[in-house]
Amino acid sequence: MPSNDHYVIIGNGPAGNHAADVLRKNDPDARITLLSNESMLFYYKHKLPALIKGTIGDTELSVKGARDYKEKNIRLRLGQEVERIDPRENRIYLKHMEIMSYTKLLIASGASPRVLPLVSNFAKHLKLFSSFTDALNQIGDIRNGRRYLVLGGDLVSFKFVRMLKSMGKEVDCLLYPDAFWPFTLTKDMAEAVNKSLTKDGIRVLSNDGLKSMNQTCEGIDVVTDNGYTATFDSVYAFLGMVPNISFALGSGIDTDRGILVNDHLKTNFNNVYAAGDCAQIYNPDIKSYWLSVGWKNAAVQGAVAAENLLGAGYVITPSPKSILSVEGFTVDTSWWENFD
């Protein structure tokens, strides 16, 4: 019997796309709509630095082309932002005033860079970077600038620092071991990072913090707690990610830091699931809630959520661990894929 379901997926990242493929394979007749507030096709986020450098173009950035969606009869709607969900009425409100109905919903809206309270005094001077849109908006400034400060509080920051350095920029990196994301940077790890970056001509500021920032016609004058003073073209903050869930707040779908889901990735509504960087799950092994992080996890969760939307009832387990080596230290991780 042909399916009457309309699956709507919010998010065109690895979680959303893996889910769409699984749904199509198992439910050939259903309507599937994939929504994204970005205008770019599904792309590799880890290749964004290469795009800025100019070593790759748009085509190499994208994971797959528009034809793939057509062939699979998946409706891809780009540049359309979800503003609100009404899970009781099975409706989604889009920013351009359209209301869309679904029978089953997957939230795979990922995460965005966060501005920690630690630096909120300086929020207006900080640039954030995590998407193709950010890359488009900032590519000109980055290519033309000379000197940058990077607040190094997460794994992506090191990639960004490396990118700037390889473009011939002068780079300072202020390390935030205590606020590091998604794990705490131990003293040994911080020392390893310091060594690894310093070796390549990057000035690392350790055990320091921001004291003041002022925009002048020369750039941004920065003074640190330890009294280090310098002027930068831009200051980039990489202090971890926070799930994109504002459209779900107050909707009745339970949220905490992310969308709260059980070990089947189901929210408190039977026909609403969440997967990838936006999902928050209780993990009995560590006796704590955790937020999914990284490409690999997102892809696995997207596929499992789709299977469960189809009725499979799979329990999500963390992917097998592998060794990730970053700037002179290694961690045993099940989430971050080593693309380099």
Partner 1 sequence: MNVTERYKKNLMVSNEDGMTKAMESVKTIVYSTDPRDMGLVRKSIPCQNACPAKTNIPGYIRCIHEGRYGRSYELNRMANILPGVLGRICSKPCELFCRHGESDLGKSVSICSLKRSAADLKSPLHRIMEGLYSPSGKTVAVVGAGPAGLGAAHELSVLGHRVVLFEAFDKPGGMLMYGIPEFRLPRDVLMLEVENILRLGVVLKTGVRVGRDISLDELLSEFEAVVITTGCPVPNRLNVPGEDLENVYPGLEFMERVNRGEKPYVGKTVMVIGDGFTAMDCARSALRLGATEVKINIRKTEEYMPIDDLEKHEVKFEKIRFYSLVDTQRILGENGRVTGIEFLRTKLEYSPSPPYRTASVMPDSEFIVPADSVIVAIGQRPEPSGVSASIEADGSRIRTVKDRFSTNIKGVFAAGDCMSGASNVISAISRGRNCALDVDEYLTGRKRKIQVVRLESVPSTDRDRSYDFIPRTPMDTLDFDQRVKPGNPEVEKGYTAEQAADESKRCYLCSLVYTIDTSRCIYCSACIDVAPRDCIKMAEDVPVMEDGSLSAVTETKKWNRVAAIAIDNERCIRCGKCYEVCPMNCIHVTKTELIELNIED
Ligand X SMILES: Cc1cc2nc3c(=O)[nH]c(=O)nc-3n(C[C@H](O)[C@H](O)[C@H](O)COP(=O)(O)OP(=O)(O)OC[C@H]3O[C@@H](n4cnc5c(N)ncnc54)[C@H](O)[C@@H]3O)c2cc1C
Instruction: Give the one entry of partner 1, ligand X, none that residue 284 binds, where binding means its C-beta sits below a cut-off of 5 to 8 angstroms depending on kind.
Output: partner 1
Q: Which of 83, 170, 191, 208 binds partner 1 (CB under 8 A)?
A: 83
Interactions with partner 1, residue window 245-284 (CB under 8 A): 249-250, 254-257, 260, 268, 282, 284
175 Cβ neighbours under 8 A, 6+ residues apart: 152, 153, 185, 190, 193, 194, 204, 205, 206
d(CA 251, CA 147): 44
d(CA 24, CA 108): 17
Tokens of 178: 């205590």
Q: Which of 7, 265, 294, 304 binds ligand X (CB under 6 A)?
A: 294
Q: Give me the least distance between CB of 338 and ligand X, in Å please.
A: 7
Give yes or no for a contact between 107 and 272, defined as CB atoms under 8 angstroms apart: yes
Q: Give me the least distance between CB of 122 and partner 1, in Å please.
A: 10
Instruction: Give the one entry of ligand X, partner 1, none that residue 337 binds, where binding means its C-beta sits below a cut-off of 5 to 8 angstroms depending on kind.
Output: ligand X
Q: Give me the least distance between CB of 162 and ligand X, in Å please.
A: 11
| Piece in contact with ligand X (CB under 6 A), picked from 208-216, 221-229, 292-300, 314-322 | 292-300
Residue 298 as a binder of ligand X (CB under 6 A): the answer is yes
Residue 239 as a binder of ligand X (CB under 6 A): the answer is no
Residue 46 as a binder of ligand X (CB under 6 A): the answer is yes
Helix, strand, coil in percent for the chain, rounding step 5: 30, 30, 40
**Residue 106: strand pairing partners:** 9, 273
Residue 326's nearest CA partner among 16, 46, 6 is 46
Considering the complex, state which of residue 66 and residue 249 has its C-beta at the smaller distance from partner 1: 249
Interactions with ligand X, residue window 126-145 (CB under 6 A): 130
Instruction: Give the one entry of partner 1, ligand X, none that residue 154 binds, where binding means its C-beta sits below a cut-off of 5 to 8 angstroms depending on kind.
Output: none
Q: What is the CA radius of gyration of the chain?
A: 21
Considering the complex, state which of residue 111 and residue 235 has its C-beta at the smaller distance from ligand X: 111
Torsion of CA 213, 215, 221, 224, to 10 degrees: 10
Interactions with partner 1, residue window 148-177 (CB under 8 A): none
What are the angstrom distances between the C-alpha of 156 and each of 120, 319, 328? 20, 21, 15
Interactions with ligand X, residue window 13-42 (CB under 6 A): 13-16, 35-38
Specify the amino acid at residue 316.
I
Contact positions vs ligand X (CB under 6 A)? 10-16, 35-38, 45-46, 48, 81-82, 108-110, 130, 156, 159, 244, 247, 276-277, 293-296, 298, 336-337, 339
